[in-house]
Chains A and B, each alone.
Chain A
Amino acid sequence: KAGVTQTPRYLIKTRGQQVTLSCSPISGHRSVSWYQQTPGQGLQFLFEYFSETQRNKGNFPGRFSGRQFSNSRSERKVSTLELGDSALYLCASKTGEGTGELFFGEGSRLTVL
């Protein structure tokens, strides 16, 4: 069974640009969560999607958005990038409802210049 796949793995953007990251969960998993990891803030929860509906949302500005498709694949978009958005963005999937084990991808490392 393939694991959680995140693309791209690395990318460099400049301030003001926008970026879209993609996450393909493990086959059969209906829940996808996104986290932002920075050295100073640790792992911050962004949002969770379950069956194409946003179920939970962290405390982030409206520049951060996401969606989930019918095949459970998820995209996360950040518009008008700021230097502080430089981070490792991690996607995790789980089978469904409840607080079970999360399966993480390797992350997308975003650098904003």
Chain B
Amino acid sequence: SQQGEEDPQALSIQEGENATMNCSYKTSINNLQWYRQNSGRGLVHLILIRSNEREKHSGRLRVTLDTSKKSSSLLITASRAADTASYFCAPTSNEKLTFGTGTRLTIIP
């Protein structure tokens, strides 16, 4: 089944810096979604990018999608301590979302 693989597994940066996370997948998709999870809590939807889109912005978030390379990236600009969380990509096809193991982002104050 379709599943995203996030890279890196863990990332630590200073507050104010930009954070970039990558996602790769294997088969064709309808869209790709990114979610955030604070420790032990439920996931929160961040952004959805459709297969015919190349880039999308939402506040401090920028997502790119390259369907030829089957990859996506999530950029968080001007990071804040509150951005500390795990981030998951979810490539979606056939009405099914599957998640990888995520990228653990730590923002150092």
Chain A contacts to B: CB under 8 angstroms: 4, 33, 35, 41-43, 45, 48, 55-56, 88, 90, 92, 97-107, 109
Contacts and interface: CB of A to CB of B under 8 A. Distances in A.
Given A42-B101, A101-B45, A55 B95 contact: yes
A65 B99 CA distance: 21
Contacts of A4: 42
Interface residues of B, number: 24
21 contacts: A4-B42, A35-B99, A41-B101, A42-B102, A43-B98, A43-B99, A43-B102, A45-B99, A48-B95, A56-B96, A90-B42, A92-B42, A97-B95, A98-B95, A99-B30, A99-B31, A99-B95, A102-B33, A102-B97, A104-B42, A104-B43
Nearest to B40: A88
B35 to A, nearest CB: 8
Mostly, the A contact residues are: strand
A104 B44 contact: yes
